[in-house]
């Protein structure tokens, strides 16, 4: 049951959730939101229900940060079974193809990983949330339909084998860092195809999204046990440390708050902005013409 509107409160910050297996990213977000009673919430980079790992949950002004992370690179630990392929590309589907080849040499694995590293093209799977003529691909797939999908440009930054257990040769485990828009289950299918066999993904765990890592993520269960869950919130500027910082004086601060610009000799780039008390206020941008302007201000959290 939803809370009455009067019970929601202004909360600003980022919670690094270790998403559990078996629920959607949105349901996980709503569970976290109810613990904080947060008026405004959003997450960055959905994980499929079967996937686990890092899901940054953004509250209040931090939802403005979420959009800046949507194009971020992601790192996963992924496992697959060699020798069978499913209609969904993962363990939730029905096996559609099998191969007697379930044993791969280290050399075969390394060659396939190398060939799939770098800038490549990938055809999105039918079981995906992409649209075709106004309908989700997974809805068409569930009706037994298949449509032509255009290959998309993606980047595989690294594709590294973590195990080749001779005692359980069918299961391989990888650490994979990829660009936005990459389907790991499709990548594993393409990997198996390069090795002359089939595969389907059995687990997926995200360990990094942009500069955010899973080192400090917390499970839903552990969050519910906290006497002060707000101590688990991260400041929103943790997601922006790739930008250099700049401290505004009082006059500059007032100029930006009123939507105006001031002269500067700063190098043209985007900066994290702080007031004289080192309180984060937002992002600003120095222009080649020497003008400094607002890019994004977080005034609700600044004034709270």
Output the CA angle 128-131-135, nearest 5 degrees: 105
Active-site entry in 48, 87, 190, 237:
48
Token pair 């029905």: residue = 94
Residue pair 189/198 in contact by the 8 Å Cβ criterion: yes
What b/e sequence results for 80-97 when a residue is b if at least 16 CB atoms lie within 10 Å of its CB, and e otherwise?
A: bbbbbbbbbbbbbbeeee
Token pair 């994004």: residue = 296
Respond yes or no: is residue 87 known to be catalytic.
no
Cα separations (Å) of 115 from 111, 118, 125, 191?
A: 6, 8, 20, 9
Per DSSP, helices labelled H in the chain are 25-36, 62-69, 106-115, 137-142, 184-194, 220-224, 250-257, 299-303
Catalytic residue list: 48
């Amino acid at each position: 049951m939803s809370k009455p509107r009067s019970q929601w409160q202004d909360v600003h910050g980022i919670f690094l959730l270790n998403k559990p297996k078996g629920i959607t990213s949105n349901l996980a977000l709503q569970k976290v939101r109810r613990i904080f009673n947060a008026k405004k919430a959003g997450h960055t980079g959905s994980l499929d229900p079967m996937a686990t790992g890092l899901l940054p949950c953004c509250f209040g002004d931090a939802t403005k940060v979420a959009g800046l992370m949507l194009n971020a690179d992601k790192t996963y630990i992924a496992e697959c079974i060699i020798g069978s392929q499913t209609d969904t590309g993962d363990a939730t589907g029905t096996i559609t193809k099998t191969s007697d080849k379930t044993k791969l040499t280290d050399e075969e694995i390394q060659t396939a990983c190398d060939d799939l590293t770098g800038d490549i093209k990938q055809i999105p799977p039918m079981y995906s949330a992409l649209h075709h003529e106004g309908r989700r691909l997974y809805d068409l797939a569930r009706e037994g339909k298949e449509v032509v999908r255009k290959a998309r440009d993606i980047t595989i930054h690294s594709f590294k084998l973590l195990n080749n257990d001779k005692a359980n040769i069918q299961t391989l485990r990888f650490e994979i860092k990829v660009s936005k828009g990459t389907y790991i289950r499709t990548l594993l299918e393409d990997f198996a195809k390069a090795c002359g066999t089939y595969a389907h993904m059995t687990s997926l765990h995200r360990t990094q999204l942009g500069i955010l890592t899973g080192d400090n993520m917390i499970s839903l269960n552990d969050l519910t046990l906290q006497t002060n869950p707000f101590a688990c919130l991260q400041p929103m500027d943790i997601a922006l440390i790739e930008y250099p910082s700049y401290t505004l004086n009082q006059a500059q601060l007032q100029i930006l708050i009123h939507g105006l610009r001031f002269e500067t000799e700063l190098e043209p780039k985007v900066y994290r902005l702080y007031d004289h008390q080192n309180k984060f206020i937002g992002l600003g941008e120095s222009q080649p013409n020497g003008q400094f302007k607002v890019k994004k201000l977080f005034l609700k959290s600044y004034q709270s």
